[in-house]
Amino acid sequence: MTHIQGKVLYLMDLFKAIRELYEEKQRIDEVIAHLEFLSADRGASTGSSTVPLAVRHRRGRKSMGAEERLEVSRRMKDYWARRRKAPKAKAQSA
């Protein structure tokens, strides 16, 4: 019987811990929302964007438009064409 009671107490502790974590998560979400509101409000008064900092400063690659992709494609085709010709020129001069 004590084995079953131990499992029940263990499960109750788990449920309690999960509930407390959800409550803490809710508090954190509220604080984040409040801080984003304050930063957006402050940004509007200084003339900068009202978009939160996390969205404004993206990291990673810049996306390219269709024209930019075509230009890069042309440059790379030229580059590889020159690279393919280069070994032949060296072999002929040797």
Q: Rounded to whole angstroms, how far apart are CA atoms 40 and 87?
A: 58
pLDDT tens figures, 1-17 = 456 666 777 777 888 89
Whole-angstrom distance, CA of residue 65 vs CA of residue 89 = 36
pLDDT tens-digit map of 20-45: 999 999 999 999 999 988 887 665 55
Instruction: Report pLDDT digits (tens) over 56-80.
Output: 566 677 788 999 999 999 999 999 9
Q: Can you give the residue ranges of every domain in the chain?
A: 1-52, 65-94
